[in-house]
Amino acid sequence: MVRIVFVALANLLILVRYLLGLPFRLLASRHRPTHVRFRLAGDPPYRERRRAPLRLRLGGSSLEPATVSSLESFQEALGLLAKDPRVKGILLELEGLEIGSAKKDALVKLLTDFRAAGKRVVAWAVSTDSVGYQVMCAADEVLLAPAGRLELVGYAAEATALGEGLARVGIQAHFVRRGAYKTAPELFTHSHVSDIQRQTLEAFLDERYAELVEAISRGRKRSPEEVRALIDAGPYSAQRAVSAGLVDAMCSEADLPARLEPPRPEEKAKAPAESEAEAEAEESLEPMDTWLAALPWAPVKWRPVRRKPRLGLVVLSGMIVPGKGSGGPVGPTTAGADALVKAVRAAGRDKRAKALVLYINSPGGSALASELILEAVQRVARKKPVIAYVDQVCASGGYMAALGAKEIWTAPHAIIGSIGVFAGKFEASGLLERLGVRRTIIARGENAGIFSVSRGFTPHERESLEAEVEETYQAFLGHVAKARGRTKEEIHERAEGRVYSGTRAMTAGLVDRLGGFEDACRHALNLAKVPTEKFELMTYGGGARRRSLLQLLLSMSSTHLYALCPTCWGLAGFKAGEHFDG
């Protein structure tokens, strides 16, 4: 009853404000823009995230005007613009776009649907890479700044082997692994990149390259053979990109309004002073907020009497580590098991959250920490539907955590699998000797010195470690077999560290469905038997923490069990001309 009164008062205030603003909107409607400007930058989230518990956030930088704050808000904006007969289209500016393949596909679909409604899309950038260019290829017209560049060169992965280099400074890596395809320790133990590592990288390069060729071929109306030749001739200056037909024209930012809306003949004949005044008024394209302010009967966001169904979201991002994880402004992100378990439990306790989506972007990490997260997810999954969603990486320990969900959803080009375990340490005896440092181990117990960096493993220590690695690997197989409804032998054939794309993981039976984030969210709510048209997304837990690369290496200097795939982490970030170690 109290809520009904509060909602009624809130909606009354909204109505009063709406009516008071109506005269101003009517006056502004004559100058409602025919083209609306949007800016794509960074890595916009799928949806605006509401956090629990509510935190007061002071300071921080606000988004620049026209910046897309989420794919959800962008979709809503395009839907409104598509219904306005006065609107001819949009200008889409790309600046430092850093998205994965799944978000790229989502953006392409939004632009394609908008164009199907009879609207025009013009894409403009100063500089763009292969991913951004694929988004631009979904537009009617592609423009570059005169001094711009198109970094279209394909994809490359540079695998590294540190074994010989470490030996030269007196460090030896001692690792035990289970699975010929579990190549993580090779970074430290091998002097050359193995054939298995090369084959793994080549498989993903082939898929990403084929996706790039297909997108450009469809968007620029070229044959695949022509596109491959164009990629081989990159990168391009703006002038060369225009000559090659990859870009329609060069256009400075100041000239964009005139290109999107050329002046009519009668406007050209006006007095110079009047034309200059109009040119000054039209010197910049307006963002969505300006269009809404000039819409007489703008859509109103009324306060609903009934609350929207709530969907919980827990984000598992980065290398999985025990404890809370460690903070720091730079370095790889880490996911602390304690923090993740608390977040999953909070989502399970929230009665308003009818279902939970576990978003995973992790190459794995500590085997123990991963199993703790798995157990927490399993407990919540007994009370409410849990869907694991992957759009970039869900490998090794990350995949172990996903097994607790009722279903695993993935994007087609996500990285899945790497079911395997390794353990080991770094021996620094050679380095210590060069520095004149003498260390003597005095122990009681056959394996008491197993964690020491002063020497390698004794035969007995290595035998004990191999037994522990085998035990953990068998447990991992057991978790997968139970979750996927197969025998351990069947999973073993797909395991031993093998890495799959989302599409290949679907064929191998390691995931349940291919789809987008929104589809996975709505499916989770469908399983909970609640309406899915409009829902509230609540995020539990804090953001990922960061560790320096040195901290991560030092954390591996003692003997622990790892379910980690660094190669997968690097593969998720493919960009034109960049190299990744693995």
At residue 280, the pLDDT reads: 42
Helix orientation angle between 101-116 and 517-527, rounded to the nearest 10 degrees:
90
Same domain, 209 and 334: no
79 Cβ partners below 8 Å, 6+ apart?
Answer: none
Same domain, 249 and 374: no
At residue 568, the pLDDT reads: 64
Residue 326 lies in a domain: yes
DSSP 30: G
Q: What is the spatial distance between Cα 537 and Cα 37, in angstroms, rounded to a whole number?
A: 27
Same domain, 319 and 261: no
Judged by DSSP in three states, 159 sits in: coil
Q: What is the spatial distance between Cα 55 and Cα 333, in angstroms, rounded to a whole number?
A: 22
Instruction: Write out the two tokens for 502.
Output: 């989302």
Q: Which helix (H) or strand (E) holds 319?
A: strand 319-321
221 Cβ partners below 8 Å, 6+ apart?
Answer: none
Residue 283's identity, in one-letter code, is: E
Same domain, 353 and 286: no
Give the sign of the dihedral formed by CA 551, CA 554, CA 559, CA 561: positive
Place of tokens 């393949």: 101
Residue 459's identity, in one-letter code, is: P
What are the φ and ψ backbone dihedral angles of 472, each rounded to 5 degrees? Answer: -65, -40
Q: What is the spatial distance between Cα 501 and Cα 201, in angstroms, rounded to a whole number?
A: 11
Place of tokens 């995230």: 49
Same domain, 268 and 140: yes
User: Strand (E) positions, 459-546?
Assistant: 499-501, 513-514, 536-540, 545-546
CATH number of the domain where residue 75 is located: 3.90.226.10
Residue 301 lies in a domain: no
Q: How many domains does the structure of the chain reveal?
A: 2
Q: What is the spatial distance between Cα 88 and Cα 297, in angstroms, rounded to a whole number?
A: 19
Residue 478 lies in a domain: yes
What are the residue ranges in the chain where pLDDT is below 50?
A: 54-61, 271, 273-283, 327-331, 549-551, 553-554, 556-557, 574-582
Q: Which of 100, 93, 148, 144 is nearest to 121 (CA)?
A: 93
DSSP output for 63-124: PPTTB---HHHHHHHHHHHHT-TT--EEEEEEEEE---HHHHHHHHHHHHHHHHTT-EEEEE
229 Cβ partners below 8 Å, 6+ apart?
Answer: none
Judged by DSSP in three states, 308 sits in: coil
At residue 163, the pLDDT reads: 87
Q: Which of 47, 3, 6, 45 is nearest to 538 (CA)?
A: 47
Per-residue pLDDT of 167-218, as tens digits, reads: 888 888 888 888 788 888 888 888 888 888 888 888 989 999 999 999 999 9
Judged by DSSP in three states, 46 sits in: coil
Residue 189 lies in a domain: no
Q: What is the spatial distance between Cα 524 and Cα 530, in angstroms, rounded to a whole number?
A: 9
Same domain, 350 and 286: no
Same domain, 322 and 369: yes
Of 268, 293, 318, the one marking the end of a domain is 293
User: Strand (E) positions, 442-566?
Assistant: 499-501, 513-514, 536-540, 545-546, 560-564
At residue 82, the pLDDT reads: 94
| Contact in structure between 480 and 405 (CB atoms under 8 Å) | no
Q: Buried b vs exposed e over 376-385: b needs ≥16 C-beta within 10 Å?
A: bbbebbeebb
Same domain, 262 and 319: no
Cis peptide leading into residue 363 (ω within 30°)? no
Residue 182 lies in a domain: no
Same domain, 275 and 315: no
DSSP 204: H
| Contact in structure between 339 and 315 (CB atoms under 8 Å) | no
Residue 181 lies in a domain: no
Residue 163 lies in a domain: no
Q: Which range of residues forms the domain containing residue 506?
A: 310-571
Per-residue pLDDT of 296-314, as tens digits, reads: 666 767 667 577 889 999 9
168 Cβ partners below 8 Å, 6+ apart?
Answer: none
Helical spans, DSSP H, in 307-458: 337-349, 367-381, 397-402, 429-434
Same domain, 316 and 243: no
Same domain, 241 and 332: no
Place of tokens 């921080």: 60
At residue 287, the pLDDT reads: 86
Residue 304 lies in a domain: no
Same domain, 481 and 535: yes
- Cα R_g (the chain), whole angstroms: 28
Helix orientation angle between 101-116 and 195-220, rounded to the nearest 10 degrees:
10
Instruction: Write out the two tokens for 524.
Output: 């989770």
